[in-house]
Amino acid sequence: DVTITNDGATILKLLEVEHPAAKVLVELADLQDQEVGDGTTSVVIIAAELLKNADDLVKCKIHPTSIISGYRLACKEAVKYIQDHLTIPVDQLGRDCLVNVAKTSMSSKIIGPDSDFFSNMVVEAANAIKTSDGKGGHRYPVKAINVLKAHGGSSRESKLVNGYALNCTIASQAMPQKIVEPKIACLDFNLQKAKMHMGIQVLIEDPTH
């Protein structure tokens, strides 16, 4: 199989890595991809640099436990500094800033040339799933956004559906292509056609009853 990608997590995932430390870096990139969806290459570079500096400290006869404790303390201080000085609530950023953030994330992806088109779509989708967390803040459950892929179309033909979309085809060309304000029935049993005994037939003359 041939995989064409410039995504760091995808490249690392396809490598057959045997070294224990290298496996940790692969898992780190995969975790970053699942949690954030971007910055997979950056976390690997930062982690590799931390390992490099830790190796120098080990060569200076410093016990690994002391190095780990130092890194954990540095991590707490770094997170505290970010929260106190570098964190801005999303509500204060404004739409233009959010669009620019989306463009930055897409710049290294395949859809980078169409970032103007997709960035606005992404911001609209994120705002559509905005919910209150009950503590005065808001949550954005990204898993509530689904991407349906259709073959044969251009990426510029993508559109945002404010609702629930199913990627399926019609059973017959005679069926209507579009229904406005339909009534939807949610069934928990199979609708498969069944042959009734004794030659009994059920004919529906008025489906509204």
Torsion 188-192-198-200 (CA) sign: positive
pLDDT, one tens digit for every residue, the chain (209 residues):
777 777 777 787 888 888 888 888 888 888 888 887 778 888 889 999 999 999 999 999 999 999 999 999 999 999 999 989 888 877 777 888 888 888 887 876 777 778 888 888 988 898 888 888 888 777 888 888 888 887 877 888 888 888 888 777 787 888 888 888 888 888 888 877 777 777 787 777 887 76
* Contact call for residues 12 and 25 (beta carbons, < 8 A): yes
Say how far apart CA 2 and CA 196 lie, in whole Å: 52
Both structure tokens of 120: 């606005």
Type of residue found at 16: E
Secondary element (H or E) of residue 97: helix 95-106
The model's pTM is 0.56
Cα torsion through 116, 123, 109, 104, rounded to 10: 80
Say how far apart CA 5 and CA 11 lie, in whole Å: 7
Say how far apart CA 116 and CA 77 lie, in whole Å: 37
Residue from 89, 170, 176, 90 nearest 126 by CA: 90
Residue 12, number of CB atoms within 10 A of its CB: 21
